[in-house]
């Protein structure tokens, strides 16, 4: 029986590796602009397609809805910053017309890197409630710089307060270099550079990934399901489970074995929305004649 268990587990892992990357499908229409060559228009359309794919995956991962304004801010940010998350793409179709260009893309996203960076940006911590913060911002910014800064505040999910921590101080010198300081609970983080968004997120990343925040979100469980007729059925559920990003993340198959009642499987998962995960499990497993059990494993 142990040999069968090991064989089935190895076979399933190979299948998972073969089909682990699933594409995010996006459709983009980029209007034509006077003085913009077809090549440049295509490049801009690709950048918007990648940004939309990253946004779509982010929405699936986060524990609550971003809201229309914040989602658009994230999409705009990703137009210039999606490269670390795009593992590859396929142009499904491309149609040029007088009005512009239509692109249909399959984009392959590095979900782990994206998830880690969304945490660094504060999006996991602030989707359900804003993070209060004291902000001292630079004077003399241009209209565009002020708009960019206000967009970063909204994207991060900050609620401004007059006193208290975390407290951020941001300055800009006459050479166009931003320098910032963030203080909280005896910690002091600093960052400097010419790119405002880079400085901003370098300041906030250690705050949103500090130890107490990590401990608060740790919620590891083992999900045990029994009653499958075949390993293929368990493999199909593994695919479904990985699509429930808003409820459960970091899904890992840890065991697959033959039982008197059929095939059993265990997954290690990190629950980010227990109520939603429970609804999804109850709506999927019992109606297929499957039983399941959740066991907390700690942090």
DSSP string over 2-63: HHHHHHHHHHHHHHHHHH---EEEEEEEEE--TT--HHHHHHHHHHHHHHHHHHHHHHHHSS
Which pLDDT tens digit goes with each residue over 23-34?
899 999 999 988
- Look up the domain containing 30 and give its range: 23-111
* 129 and 94 inside one domain: no
Which pLDDT tens digit goes with each residue over 140-182?
899 999 999 999 999 999 999 989 999 999 999 999 999 999 9
Which CATH number goes with the domain that contains 286? 3.30.70.360
Which pLDDT tens digit goes with each residue over 38-61?
999 999 999 999 999 999 999 888
Q: Is residue 5 part of a domain?
A: no
Mean pLDDT throughout 250-262? 80
* 31 and 95 inside one domain: yes
pLDDT-derived band of residue 214, with 50, 70 and 90 as boundaries? low
Nearest to 285 by CA among 211, 210, 194, 224: 224
Which pLDDT tens digit goes with each residue over 75-86?
999 999 999 999
Tokens standing for residue 277? 């995960």
For residue 20, is pLDDT > 90? Answer: no
* 227 and 203 inside one domain: no
Which CATH number goes with the domain that contains 199? 3.30.160
pLDDT computed for residue 217 by the predictor: 53
């Amino acid at each position: 029986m142990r040999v069968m268990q090991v064989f089935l587990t190895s076979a399933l892992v190979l299948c998972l590796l073969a089909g682990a990357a699933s594409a995010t499908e996006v459709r983009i229409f980029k209007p034509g602009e006077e003085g913009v060559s077809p090549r440049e228009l295509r490049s801009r359309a690709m950048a918007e397609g990648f940004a939309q794919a990253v946004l779509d995956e982010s929405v699936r991962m986060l524990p609550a809805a971003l809201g229309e304004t914040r989602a658009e801010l994230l999409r705009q940010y990703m137009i210039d910053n999606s490269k670390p998350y795009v593992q590859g793409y396929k142009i499904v179709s491309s149609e040029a017309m007088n009005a512009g260009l239509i692109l249909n893309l399959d984009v392959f996203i590095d979900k782990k890197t994206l998830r880690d960076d969304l945490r660094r940006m504060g999006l996991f911590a602030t989707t359900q409630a804003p993070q209060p913060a004291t902000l001292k911002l630079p004077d003399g910014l241009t209209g565009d710089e002020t708009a960019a800064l206000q967009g970063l505040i909204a994207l991060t999910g900050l609620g401004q307060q007059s006193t208290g921590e975390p407290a951020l101080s941001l300055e800009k010198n006459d050479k166009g270099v931003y320098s910032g300081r963030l203080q909280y609970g005896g910690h002091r983080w600093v960052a400097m550079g010419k790119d405002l968004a880079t400085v901003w997120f370098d300041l906030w990343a250690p705050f949103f990934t500090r130890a107490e925040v990590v401990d608060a979100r740790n919620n590891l469980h083992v999900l045990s399901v029994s009653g499958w007729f075949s390993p293929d059925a368990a493999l199909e559920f593994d695919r479904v489970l990985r699509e429930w990003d808003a409820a459960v993340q970091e899904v890992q198959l840890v065991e697959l074995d033959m039982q008197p009642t059929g095939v059993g499987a265990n997954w290690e998962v990190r629950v980010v929305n227990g109520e939603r995960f429970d609804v999804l499990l109850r709506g999927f497993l019992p109606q297929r004649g499957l039983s399941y059990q959740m066991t907390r494993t700690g942090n």
